[in-house]
Amino acid sequence: MMKKLLFLNILFIHLFLKQGIAQHTFENLELALQNIEQVKKLDLRVQKINEFPKEIFQLIHLEELDLSINQIRSIPKEIVQLKKLRILDLSDNDIKEIPKELFLLHQLEELDISMNQILELPEEIGQFRLLKHLDLGMNRLETLPSSFKELTQLEFLNLEETQLSDLETFLGPFTKLNTLHLNYLDLEAVPDCICEYKNLEYISLEGNSISDLPDCFGSLKKLEILHLDMNQFSEIPPEVRSLEILFEFTISENNITIIPAWFSQLKEIGFLFIGDNQIKDISPLCQLEKLETLSIMNNKLDSLPECIHRLEKLDLFNISGNDIPQETLEKLLESIPELYLIAR
């Protein structure tokens, strides 16, 4: 029996490695170096690597490289040798400086250097003519080079938890952008230029000091996800009214007291988080027939409207931190049997 199990284990490992080679994907550098002509993707994340392995530069056909969640401190200039590289993930390391040679990788489409100690980016970043995905979040950046505006192919941009200010200076004509993260930037206002990004589907502005949205914000007709948590809103911004296909909306931890009547017109909303505000009545939500997840925790509710029973698709309802009578909650569960209710 033991011999049979050992044989099966060896066979499984052999087939696993064979499949990896067939798919040009490797998770072991030594094995990759034995198959240089086959390697297109190398995944070395979470391997306690302290220094960028220079042996990687032998992998001349490499297209995807993941060295995230290690302790790498610098990027060798020789990285320019990886001419075919399309995707590079160096997130969650200890990198402080980006060499100019990196920006000579003209085939690069995705670059993630988030969660490092980077202070600045060289002017050469504008040479990334094909770059679609750029993650700079959680670095020590205080400014961006003027050539940053030339990254006109960007579809995803993350600048959260950096030390950037005056975003209007850095943001360019990113008309293809569909995802934008601007969390925890101490913003007091949303840059007007964002209204030019007509293809935006997702924008997150959490943890700032924003109290209103620009008048043009409602022109973002493709927006499906909007996060405004932990800001200074005293009302749900009226510009949201024009976001007709909005599916996920979060505006928790603000100073909102009323859900306006017009909110019932946002028929596509499926996920709504408005917890930690000062709301006393949620009647306008009764007409959101596609609502699946609703959090109104820690508000000022002491009752629920009778019409809440219309929300037949509601499967998760967090009403904790309010003062709703037990009888009301029991009645709600009877009317929506599949509902998962968080009341305490």
Residue 255 has pLDDT above 80, yes or no: yes
pLDDT of residue 20: 47
* Whether residues 62 and 82 fall in one domain: yes
Per the CB < 8 A criterion, the answer to whether 104 and 79 are in contact is no
User: Mean pLDDT across the stretch 307-327?
Assistant: 95
DSSP 8-state symbol, 168: H
Decide which of 279, 299, 331 is a domain's last residue.
279
Percent of the chain with pLDDT over 70: 93
Give the count of domains, the chain: 2
Question: Is 3 domain-assigned?
Answer: no
Decide which of 279, 313, 332 is a domain's last residue.
279
* Whether residues 127 and 261 fall in one domain: yes
Residue 8 has pLDDT above 80, yes or no: no
* Whether residues 177 and 149 fall in one domain: yes
Percent of the chain with pLDDT over 90: 91
Residue 339 has pLDDT above 80, yes or no: yes
Query: pLDDT tens digit string along 180-211?
Result: 999 999 999 999 999 999 999 999 999 999 99
Q: How many CB atoms lie within 10 A of CB 336?
A: 18
**Alpha carbon distance 17, 9 (integer Å):** 12
pLDDT of residue 9: 53
Query: pLDDT tens digit string along 13-60?
Result: 444 444 444 468 999 999 999 999 999 999 999 999 999 999 999 999
Question: Is 193 domain-assigned?
Answer: yes
Per the CB < 8 A criterion, the answer to whether 261 and 239 are in contact is no
| Residue bearing the bigger pLDDT, 344 or 139 | 139
Residue 111 sits in a domain of what CATH number?
A: 3.80.10.10
pLDDT of residue 309: 92
Nearest CA to 17 out of 3, 37, 40, 35 is that of 35
* Whether residues 113 and 186 fall in one domain: yes
**Alpha carbon distance 180, 207 (integer Å):** 14
Question: Is the overall model pTM greater than 0.85, yes or no?
Answer: yes
Residue 1 has pLDDT above 80, yes or no: no
* Whether residues 213 and 198 fall in one domain: yes
Question: Is 47 domain-assigned?
Answer: yes
Question: Is 153 domain-assigned?
Answer: yes
Decide which of 230, 254, 279 is a domain's last residue.
279
Provide the mean pLDDT of the chain.
93
Question: Is 219 domain-assigned?
Answer: yes
Per the CB < 8 A criterion, the answer to whether 84 and 62 are in contact is yes
Q: Which residues pair with 180 in a beta bridge?
A: 157, 203
Residue 54: HSE in the Cβ half-sphere, 13 Å Cα cutoff = 4
**Alpha carbon distance 66, 49 (integer Å):** 12
* Whether residues 113 and 214 fall in one domain: yes
* Whether residues 180 and 310 fall in one domain: no
* Whether residues 179 and 248 fall in one domain: yes
pLDDT of residue 11: 42
User: What SS3 state is found at 198?
Assistant: coil
Widest CA span in the chain: 73
* Whether residues 58 and 152 fall in one domain: yes
* Whether residues 232 and 261 fall in one domain: yes
Q: Which residues pair with 201 in a beta bridge?
A: none
* Whether residues 244 and 266 fall in one domain: yes
Query: pLDDT tens digit string along 81-138?
Result: 999 999 999 999 999 999 999 999 999 999 999 999 999 999 999 999 999 999 999 9
Question: Is 1 domain-assigned?
Answer: no
* Whether residues 188 and 151 fall in one domain: yes
Structural domain for 170, as ranges: 18-279
DSSP 8-state symbol, 7: H
pLDDT of residue 13: 45
Query: pLDDT tens digit string along 231-249?
Result: 999 999 999 999 999 999 9
Question: How far is CA 273 from each of CA 3, 7, 58, 143, 294, rounded to the nearest angstrom?
Answer: 56, 53, 50, 33, 6
Nearest CA to 247 out of 267, 230, 268, 262 is that of 268
State the residue for tokens 């629920």: 304
**Nearby residues of 18 by Cβ (< 8 Å), 6 or more positions away:** none
Nearest CA to 39 out of 31, 51, 47 is that of 31
**Alpha carbon distance 65, 107 (integer Å):** 13
Nearest CA to 201 out of 238, 172, 176 is that of 176
Per the CB < 8 A criterion, the answer to whether 322 and 342 are in contact is no
As a whole number of Å, the end-to-end CA separation of the chain is 53
